[in-house]
């Protein structure tokens, strides 16, 4: 049988275990833990972008809640952000021309810039955060505000 309970290192593999491998899920966990009221919005967004995954989550809600509530380590979060950036085509290397954005997405990016430029962040940080958050403006804003110090410390002097 499977043990119930268990720690974050997960000996038991459930039907949603693959989520642990997804950098976007780690970033999402971090955001939900900081601001639980975002969960319905995130699930709604997921329903638009990946209805099959949302159906799977609905079938296994208890496991999803357990996964979402696993603590996110600082190192794990940073790795996930880097992986998410690499998956988006190397935004971290400054290849901005490889990112295709719609008019609406450009407006999102500009609004995010207006929000965080006064706080000392630059366009690269905005783009990386927005891409790492799966092009979700609200999630990117929360991520940048929640991680303001770390993001500022990563900027070149």
Taking the C-alpha atoms of residue 139 and residue 132, their distance in angstroms, rounded to an integer, is: 9
Going by C-alpha positions, the residue among 79, 103, 105 that lies closest to residue 92 is 79
Using alpha carbons, select from 75, 89, 102 the residue that is nearest to residue 131: 89
Taking 80 as the threshold, does the pLDDT of residue 155 lie above it? no
Q: What is the pLDDT of residue 89?
A: 55
- How high is the pLDDT of residue 99? 65
Task: Express each pLDDT in 33-53 by its tens digit.
Answer: 888 887 888 888 778 878 888
pLDDT of residue 96: 45
Q: Is the four-CA dihedral 139, 143, 146, 152 of positive or negative sign?
A: negative
Residues near 124 by beta carbon (within 8 Å), at least 6 away in sequence: 91, 94
Whole-angstrom distance, CA of residue 116 vs CA of residue 88: 22
pLDDT at 7: 43
Degrees (nearest 5) of the Cα angle 34, 102, 124?
55
Summarised one tens digit per residue, pLDDT across range 79-114 is: 887 877 776 554 444 444 456 778 888 888 888 888
pTM over 0.85: no
3-state secondary structure 72-106: CCHHHHHHHHHHHHHHCCCHHHCCHHHCCCCHHHH
Taking all residues of the chain, what is their mean pLDDT, rounded to a whole number? Answer: 78
- Rounded Cα distance between 24 and 77, Å, is 10
Q: What is the pLDDT of residue 138?
A: 92
pLDDT on residue 157: 65
Distance from C-alpha of 76 to C-alpha of 59, rounded to nearest angstrom = 27
**Tens of pLDDT, residues 1-39:** 444 444 444 456 788 888 888 878 888 888 888 888 878
Percent of the chain with pLDDT over 90: 4
């Amino acid at each position: 049988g499977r043990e119930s309970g268990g720690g974050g290192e997960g000996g038991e593999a459930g039907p949603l275990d693959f989520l642990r491998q997804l950098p976007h899920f780690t970033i999402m966990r971090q955001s939900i833990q900081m601001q639980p009221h975002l969960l319905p919005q995130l699930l709604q967004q997921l329903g638009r972008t990946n209805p099959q995954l949302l159906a799977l989550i609905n079938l296994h809600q208890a496991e999803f809640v357990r996964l979402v509530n696993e603590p996110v380590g600082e190192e794990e979060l940073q790795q996930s952000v880097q992986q998410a950036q690499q998956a988006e085509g190397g935004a971290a290397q400054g290849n901005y021309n490889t990112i295709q954005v719609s008019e609406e997405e450009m407006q999102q990016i500009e609004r995010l810039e207006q929000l965080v430029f006064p706080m000392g962040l630059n366009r690269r940080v905005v783009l990386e955060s927005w891409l790492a958050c799966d092009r979700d403006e609200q999630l990117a804003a929360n991520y940048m505000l929640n991680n303001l110090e770390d993001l500022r410390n990563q900027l070149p002097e």
